[in-house]
Amino acid sequence: MSIADTYSVEAKDGSLTVKGSMDHMINPGDYENAKKLDNNTYNFKINENTKFQATGGMAEPQTFTIDEFNEYYKGITESGLALIVEVKDGIAQTVSFSS
């Protein structure tokens, strides 16, 4: 398992742009088989069905509009929260900050 580190996250114009290193998993939570993606800029397609949220513990996810998501990120940049992007058919289905 690697320790991924993102330093910029922004959703706009049909794209989620993430700068930093990431872990790629075919099966969510399968850290044993995660592939480390080097420090780079990664773009994920988003659409009107992409769900933006913050999750953690037993609480219900807090959902955001794109603008709310971008503002939320500005307040948690040094928090250590995980960024999870679930992709299906080339489109980000869910983008979550998680504890």
Q: Report pLDDT digits (tens) over 32-76.
A: 888 899 999 999 999 999 999 999 888 899 999 999 999 999 998
- Band of residue 94 on the pLDDT scale cut at 50, 70, 90: very high
d(CA 16, CA 44): 5
Q: Which residues contact 90 (CB under 8 A, 6 or more apart)?
A: 45
DSSP letters spanning 28-60: TT-GGGPEEEEEEEEEEE--TT-EEEEE-TTSP
Q: Which run of H or of E encompasses 68? A: helix 66-74
Q: Which residues contact 35 (CB under 8 A, 6 or more apart)?
A: 23, 24, 25
Q: What pLDDT score does 3 carry?
A: 66
Q: Which residues pair with 12 in a beta bridge?
A: 15
